[in-house]
Amino acid sequence: MSPKVFVKEEKAQVQPPTLKAPAFSGSYSRYLVKFQSLIALFILCLIISLLSDKFLTVANGWNVMRQISVNICISVGMTLVVLTAGIDLSVGSVLALCGAITAGLLKFGIELPSQDLFIGFTLLGVVLAGLLTGTLLGTFNGWTITRFKVPPFVATLAVLTIARGLTMLYTKGFPISGLGADFAYIGTGWLLGIPVPVWISGIIVGLAVFLTNKTRLGRYIYAIGGNESAARLSGINISKVKTTVYAIAGGLAAIGGIIVTSRLDSAQPNAGISYELDAIAAVVIGGTSLSGGRGSILGTVQGAIIIGVLNNGLVLLNVSPFWQQVVKGMVILLAVIIDKANSKSE
Amino acid sequence: MLVAENITKKFSGVVALENVCLEIEAGKVTALIGENGAGKSTLMKILSGVYPDYEGSILFRGQVVNFANPREAQRAGIAIIHQELNLVPYLSITENIFLGREIITAWGTLNQKEMRRRTQLLLHKLNLDVNPDTLVGELKVGQQQVVEIAKALLDESEVIIMDEPTSAISDSEVEVLFGIIQGLKRENKAIVYVSHKLDELFRIADRFVVLRDGRCIESGSMQEVCQERLIQKMVGREINISRKKTKNNQGKALLSVENICLKHPVRKDQSLLKNISFTLHQGEILGLFGLMGAGRTELLETIFGLHPKLATGQLIISQQPVTLKSPAEAIKAGLALVPEDRKKDGLVLGLDVQTNICLTTLPDLEDAGILNNRKEFSLSEKYIRDLKIKTSSEKQTAGNLSGGNQQKIVLAKWLATKPRILLLDEPTRGIDINAKSEIYKLIQELADAGLGIIVVSSELPEILSVSDRILVMAEGRLTAEFAMEEATEDGILKAAIPNTI
């Protein structure tokens, strides 16, 4: 296959029909596009390691990985939502509420003095309760979006406020601390030489990659985001798929909440504020289109790592936190501009 | 006033207009007649500057003009009122009329008083008795049309082109519109009136021009012509249509539709479909013809379960009464719908060919809940081969293929569901001749294999060459049924034109 054919690949109608995909497209530019975020990440690491000798150490590596594990959990859910051309602004608040409920149930259980009743919870019990809370809130998002046609931006904005309010009500505005060593293991422990949060986020990424590539649901998510009308005519139950996706996003936010609470040994009522923005940033830097239908989980993981490395590097280089925000914003813009330029040239 | 000489327009090699000459006189209404695809709208778009490149010349007030865009044509004095109105519903009448040409005070602010005054004058002239501050979205469709006309008059337009102006308005609104047109005639404006409704043309038009297959067939005075002759001129083509042999052995009834009605989604008092009943047999190709807005697409959508809340009536599939509430149920009942607009409703353009073909049958392509790539590949490969889909690979993005190949992908994804009833809405729209004939052949083979097929088309030759039996719709009603032996172009078109039966 000549390079000329590759450049004009979209004019496939003039090509003779061949059924086998070309094994190698014979041009480096395509690989440059495909791995652009990896390349950017590599260059970023290179620059930081030249400027700081603390960066390229094993300890710092695990440190970065542990820091981004929460964002990865949320971003994976966000990717699924964005692939359906939706958005979920509520994840930060959902994270806080789930963390608070997990911590509260672990520490105090449920007391009903009028019934003379006390329910205590095991570690597994509180984790499941936290997950359930997040999934329910996500399902609620999906329900208002599909049943009442509330735009996702508005529906999840409402739940952002509601969940934050519920967190304040439940915690009465104070942190719930002192949760015990067993619970702390989730956020701070090590397993086989790898931090537990990294295990958790890694497994979530694996499952999500599997979901998007190998299951019907994953296929439907891409189809709905790509062309909802065609998906509906193909007999796909749009409401069911969307609700499921928001429920997953809620559940993953809950996992993030449990990790955060465990790591701090404390459920903070104002945990997770603006986490949704970090997640959206990871999704966008990872090349997922906000108009849906195009993108991938692994892209988002790269996006999250880029943000994490950038944060870490800027701290190591003693850049002021104010400048850190400016730099982060510029990186997001740059990533999207490059992505747009690429999709136009295709 | 406006003279078009030897206009020829080609779209990527296909001739849309060939040596068309047209003369539009001041103070007269010129009717432009022709069936769908005759070239009326192309001609209108050339006159109003939408298509700047064409062969031939246009003389406006004795001077050769070539408008680069609609804005230029508008400034010169040629205004077009499209079938779909171009108004902003959330702005007032005044704001709409002055949109893009606001009057500014010396301070640089909007001169609202002056704009309002001039709007009032225009509305008064057009006998529209509403407050200029009314939001356009609150007006009736007929009144919105008057606002469009007011917009045209603001520019002191000398030529006003109206494209199907009565397609969406009620009878009394038509009377108002005709009154306005008479007034414009007295002011010596030239009006071009495009319509299917012949009886209207006899009331309002002075002259007529018939277009057919991109050529100007006849023109003359409206008074010296009769309806029969016009219809004959519209359709009378000499092309030989390869009529297929009608089947004698009619199969069992596959689908019966009884008293299907469909309410308008917004205007609940109006109906898009009125008491439609018919039967489709096994191995039969049923042609469904109608002009724009006759309700053809809505009928197919209703049968496919897309309007469960607005539709009433009964479907009987293989002697079993069914109610279809969603496309998923329709698919399960053995139906498949190839929609009219494949880019909007048929394909996920950003996904590859294989994924699009497999989208309707994913449950069959799984092993224990996991998609089996080998099964997906062999399914898509089968259809790429069977339907001769020209693609570099099954991983090619669907949006990169030509229209004909995209249409084949849509067909493939529906054939994969093994339907018994196939609903095809304009299956050959916008695709080249070769792909067309391949799709006709395919339709024939599928019918021979025992499927019941409904083909909706607005092209008469297509309907005549592909169908075993033809139904005609007009304004939401079934107006005629023809067996193949008795079907003629004249007869079908007569039944399709509203208010003339």
One-letter amino acid of B173: E
- CA separation for the pair A88, A158 (Å, rounded): 11
Q: What is the mean pLDDT of residues B391-398?
A: 85
- CA separation for the pair A28, A32 (Å, rounded): 6
In B323-467, the DSSP E strands lie at 335-338, 366-367, 370-371, 421-425, 452-457
Q: What is the mean pLDDT of residues A66-79?
A: 93
Check CB contact of A109 with chain B, cutoff 8 Å: no
Q: Residue A331 — very low, low, confident or very high, per pLDDT cuts 50/70/90?
A: confident
pLDDT at residue A198 is higher than 80 = yes
Give the H or E element holding residue B228. helix B227-235
Q: What is the mean pLDDT of residues B338-357?
A: 88
- CA separation for the pair B89, B96 (Å, rounded): 9
Give the H or E element holding residue B322. strand B320-322
Question: pLDDT tens-digit profile of B123-145?
Answer: 888 888 888 888 888 888 788 88
DSSP state of B169: S
- CA separation for the pair B193, B204 (Å, rounded): 9
Across A176-180, B51-55, B204-208, the highest mean pLDDT is recorded for B204-208
Q: Which residues 40-99 of chain B have a CB within 8 Å of chain A? A: none
Q: Residue B63 — very low, low, confident or very high, per pLDDT cuts 50/70/90?
A: confident
Q: Among A232-246, A290-304, B474-488, which is the least confidently predicted range? A: B474-488
Burial class (CB in 10 A: 0-12, 13-18, 19+), B483: exposed
pLDDT at residue A264 is higher than 70 = yes
Q: Residue A131 — very low, low, confident or very high, per pLDDT cuts 50/70/90?
A: very high
Q: Do A226 and B349 touch (CB under 8 A)?
A: yes
Q: Among A4-13, A73-82, B60-69, which is the least confidently predicted range? A: A4-13
Count the Cβ atoms, other than its own, within 10 Å of residue A208. 25
| A contacts of B425 (beta carbons < 8 Å) | none
| B contacts of A4 (beta carbons < 8 Å) | none
pLDDT for A24 equals 42
Q: What is the mean pLDDT of residues B150-169?
A: 81
pLDDT for A44 equals 84
B288, B425 contact by CB (below 8 A): no
Question: pLDDT tens-digit profile of B475-497?
Answer: 888 888 888 878 888 888 888 88
| B contacts of A232 (beta carbons < 8 Å) | 327
Per DSSP, the three-state class of A174 is coil
Q: What is the mean pLDDT of residues A222-227?
A: 91
Domains of chain B as residue ranges with CATH:
2-235 (3.40.50.300), 264-496 (3.40.50.300)
Q: Do A18 and B392 touch (CB under 8 A)?
A: yes
Check: complex ipTM more than 0.85: no
Check CB contact of B12 with chain A, cutoff 8 Å: no
List Cβ<8 Å contacts ≥24 apart for B245-248. B246/B468, B246/B483, B246/B484, B246/B485, B247/B283, B247/B284, B247/B468
> Which two three-digit tokens encode residue B54?
């064409």
| A contacts of B330 (beta carbons < 8 Å) | 235
pLDDT at residue A323 is higher than 80 = yes
- CA separation for the pair B285, B442 (Å, rounded): 12
Q: Do A237 and B360 touch (CB under 8 A)?
A: no
Q: Which residues 285-314 of chain A have a CB within 8 Å of chain B? A: 293-294
Q: Which of A11, A207, A227, A291 to mutate to test the interface with B (most CBs of B within 10 A)?
A: A227
Across the interface, which of B306, B350, B360 has its CB nearest the CB of A234? B360
pLDDT at residue A10 is higher than 60 = no
pLDDT for A9 equals 36
Q: Residue B13 — very low, low, confident or very high, per pLDDT cuts 50/70/90?
A: low
pLDDT for B396 equals 86
pLDDT for B500 equals 45
- CA separation for the pair A171, A164 (Å, rounded): 11
pLDDT at residue A22 is higher than 50 = no
Nearest CA in chain A to B394: A19
pLDDT for B195 equals 81
pLDDT at residue A201 is higher than 50 = yes
Q: What is the mean pLDDT of residues B314-331?
A: 87
Question: pLDDT tens-digit profile of A105-119?
Answer: 888 878 777 877 777
CA distance to partner chain A, nearest, from residue B361 (Å): 9
B222, B205 contact by CB (below 8 A): yes
Nearest CA in chain B to A225: B348
Q: Residue B244 — very low, low, confident or very high, per pLDDT cuts 50/70/90?
A: low
3-state secondary structure B231-273: HHHHHCCCCCCCCCCCCCCCCCEEEEEEEEEEECCCCCCCEEE
Sign of the Cα torsion B288, B289, B291, B294 reads negative
pLDDT for A124 equals 85
Q: How many Cβ contacts (< 8 angstroms) between chains A and B?
A: 109
Check CB contact of A236 with chain B, cutoff 8 Å: yes
pLDDT for A7 equals 36
| A contacts of B388 (beta carbons < 8 Å) | 17
pLDDT at residue A76 is higher than 90 = yes
Q: Do B347 and A230 touch (CB under 8 A)?
A: yes
pLDDT for A159 equals 95
CA distance to partner chain B, nearest, from residue A284 (Å): 18
Per DSSP, the three-state class of B43 is helix
B428, B435 contact by CB (below 8 A): yes
Q: Which residues of A251-272 are buried (b: 16+ CB within 10 A; e: fewer)?
A: bbbbbbbbbbbbbbbbbbbebb
Q: Among A148-157, B84-93, B309-318, B440-449, which is the least confidently predicted range? A: B84-93
Query: Considering only CA atoms, which of A178, A74, A18 is closest in space to residue B389?
Result: A18
Q: Do B359 and A10 touch (CB under 8 A)?
A: no
Across the interface, which of A13, A214, A233 has its CB nearest the CB of B345? A233
Question: pLDDT tens-digit profile of A39-58?
Answer: 888 888 888 888 887 887 88
Q: Residue A143 — very low, low, confident or very high, per pLDDT cuts 50/70/90?
A: very high
CA distance to partner chain B, nearest, from residue A91 (Å): 28
Q: What is the mean pLDDT of residues A74-96?
A: 94
Nearest CA in chain B to A21: B393
Query: Considering only CA atoms, which of A105, A79, A136 is closest in space to residue A303?
Result: A79
Q: What is the mean pLDDT of residues A272-295?
A: 88
Check CB contact of A219 with chain B, cutoff 8 Å: yes
Q: What is the mean pLDDT of residues B309-325?
A: 86
Q: Among A52-56, A84-88, B332-336, which is the least confidently predicted range? A: A52-56
Q: Among A78-87, A166-175, B395-404, B446-455, which is the least confidently predicted range? A: B395-404
| B contacts of A11 (beta carbons < 8 Å) | 400
Q: Do B327 and A9 touch (CB under 8 A)?
A: no
pLDDT for A17 equals 39
Mean pLDDT of chain B: 84
CA distance to partner chain A, nearest, from residue B355 (Å): 8
pLDDT for A292 equals 85
Q: Do A10 and B400 touch (CB under 8 A)?
A: yes
Could you tell me whether strands A266-267 and B2-11 are parallel, antiparallel, or unpaired per DSSP bridges?
Answer: unpaired
